[in-house]
Chain A
Amino acid sequence: MRRRVAVARRPAIIAVLLLFALFGLPALLSLYYIDALTQVAVYSMVAAALGVLAGRVGLISLGQVAVLAVGAWVAARLLFATTQPYPVILVEAGLITMVAGMLIGLPALRLRGLYLALITLMLAGAITVILASLNFPNGGHGFSGYNGALVNIPPIRRPSIASGDPAYYRYSVIIAAIMFLLVLAHIRTRPGRAWAAIRQSEPAALAAGINTTLYKLWALALASFITGVAGGVLAGAVHYLYSIDFPTQNSIILLAVVLMGGVYSLWGAVVAAVLYQFLPALLQNWGVSADWLTILFGIGVLQVLTTAPAGLADQVPKDLAKLGRLLLRLTRRPQPAEPAAAVPTETSGVSGGGGAA
């Protein structure tokens, strides 16, 4: 019964949080942090896409940042070449990236685990090299749209309704919310069930009549589409794109933060994006080198793998609930006499959980 009430409340909580993200945060924060939050919105989509692959289907991809770069490239090219509305460009970038991402993911139909991770990493490296030699469009002509100009480069346009930074941030959040709904629509229905079966055991999935090749391709297509759309949002956010913004190793860090955030939930994708984009912005503002994060993420992944496989998105609410119960018990207890025996075990549980958080 309590669970049902919690489930019924969930959409309301999400709506409130979304409204706060759309209207509360831009009012409270400086432009510096609003830009960082736009990046959080972009990378939460990428993290959600990687969550579909790694968490739902069990395909570990180390090439997601390269897929993002492809999406950004395609969107930038189309934005310079056409006057189509921004949402149309986003869908087109998503679809073209979907094709590219499925090609990169083809080894996934045969491989899993370490070998798949290695191959996607190599392919990501190859894409980075190609994009570096092709260059990102800067308003030039021809296939690449790059003219070698170093000055007077026109910025990549934004939608007319969202040209300012706070407005574009809101725009990004709305696009991210739509992509999250797209993921949700998949994992709650037939493909989600098929993916859960494939992740646990391919023989069991086959024995249930699931065309595992089709559903893996489907997951790759969905993840690439979302990452392509994210690339399109990124293009407008930064105005100028360079291949140096998409180093291959960032895919590895992305996987680390996605594991930390929680690979099974969409909240985890948001947590991952905050770790990946907001934390560095915060440290930079405080004058601390963001390189320390590499160490922090290393420890974080270790902690997740050993104690909290569902990530921070799962662990923190549990720890908070435990802490709440403990505080409640401490305040309600009239005299610290007999039931003291029960308390130490509870305390140790919380301190263990607190360490996990």
Chain B
Amino acid sequence: MIEVSGLTVRYGGVTSLDDMSLTFQVGTCGLIGPNGAGKTTFFNVLSGFVRPAAGTVRAFGDDLLAMAHFRRARWGVRRTFQTEQAISELSVFDNVAMVHEHSRLGGSSRRKDVLDAISFVGLDADPDVQVRTLGAGQRRLVEVARAVVGRPKLVLLDEPAAGLPDEETSHLGDVIRRIPEHTQALTILVDHDMSLVSACCETTAVLDFGKLIASGPTAAVLRNDDVIRAYLGVA
């Protein structure tokens, strides 16, 4: 469980997150909102790239904001990026193994864990092949494999389906749905594809201009008038 309370982020005069308070339960949670709503900023706070002006984040009883950024990954925060960041010079195996070797897990189970993660995401590629030779969809899967290898506690997926064709999006949706069961990690999915969000997430929260405007069961949230207004403007 992740308890966010009073989280505020300011860049100069812009308030990217405004007094956000929310509890994420274990499972897959959606986080949606128009461009610039503060979704990626929220992820960056959790990853430690952005220092909030105020607020606290407690994750499974630990004070997340007190940890140095690289230690959060070792603790169990994993993420994918809006612009995919699989390391192109390394092989698929090394990309995933890199996360494992910088976690607190020992080396004895590394090979098995890494191959498990690669097969979990359904990546149909030789683990020894360099990532730069893969297509966009496969590279996304490498990133997701990096996020689920070992024992993640919190998996943050930042628009994983952006730019993917429907078929690959639907495969990715299947993978995302199985993450909490496979890893016991709390998964937060940011995406603009509402069918993907409804298919994967039991609950969803909505940000608009840094403010939390709705949260609850996904179907109800997507019918909420404020949410429709935020996305489509006032009718």
Contacts and interface: CB of A to CB of B under 8 A. Distances in A.
Interface of A: 190, 193-194, 196-197, 199-201, 203-204, 206-212
A206 B85 contact: no
Contacts of B77: 207
The DSSP consensus for interface residues of chain A is helix
Interface in B101-123: 101-103
B69 A206 contact: yes
Interface residues of B, number: 25
Contacts of B81: 201, 203-204, 207
Contacts of A197: 87, 90, 98
Contact of B89 (A196, A207, A209, A212): A196
Nearest to B44: A203
Nearest to B73: A209
B166 to A, nearest CB: 27
Contacts of A204: 81, 85, 87
Contacts of B47: 203, 206-207
A211 B70 contact: yes
B73 A207 contact: yes
Contacts of B89: 196, 199-200
B210 to A, nearest CB: 21
A210 B88 contact: no
Contact of A209 (B49, B87, B103): B103
A209 B70 contact: yes
Contacts of B102: 194, 208-211
B103 A200 contact: no
A310 to B, nearest CB: 11
Given A201-B85, A210-B98, A212-B70, A196 B78 contact: no
Interface in B33-76: 47-49, 69-71, 73-74
| Candidate in A203, A209, A211 with the most chain B CB atoms within 10 angstroms | A209
A272 B74 CA distance: 40
Given A193-B97, A206-B47, A207-B78, A200 B73 contact: no
Interface string B79-102: 101000101111000100111011
B49 A203 contact: yes
12 contacts: A190-B101, A199-B89, A203-B81, A204-B85, A206-B69, A206-B70, A206-B73, A207-B77, A208-B99, A209-B71, A210-B102, A212-B70
Contacts of B49: 203, 206
